[in-house]
Amino acid sequence: MVAGIQEHKHPAGLNERGQQFMGFDQEATAHHFILSPNGGRIEVTARTTADAKSVADVRTHL
């Protein structure tokens, strides 16, 4: 984990809904909220680069 970034644990129900509606494991991925002058963006990444399933699932969602 990057220094200064706090990891938040989500309740099981939130993770289950995320899995159902987004199609990828919420515990195996991370959402990054990046602000910019024109609004911002959300990046979703697999927590480990070797997790090919999560990478594929995120790509399918997007």
- pLDDT of 1-31, one tens digit each? 455 555 666 677 777 887 777 778 888 898 9
Query: 60 is written with which tokens?
Result: 């399918």
Average pLDDT over residues 26-47: 92
Residue 44 falls within a domain, yes or no? yes
Residue 62 falls within a domain, yes or no? yes
Residue 3 falls within a domain, yes or no? no
Average pLDDT over residues 38-48: 93
Considering its fold, how many domains does the chain have in total? 1
CB 58 within 8 A of CB 46: yes
CB 14 within 8 A of CB 26: yes
Show contacts of 33-40: CB within 8 Å, 24+ apart: none
Q: Does the pTM of the predicted model rise above 0.85?
A: no
Range of the domain at 42: 29-62
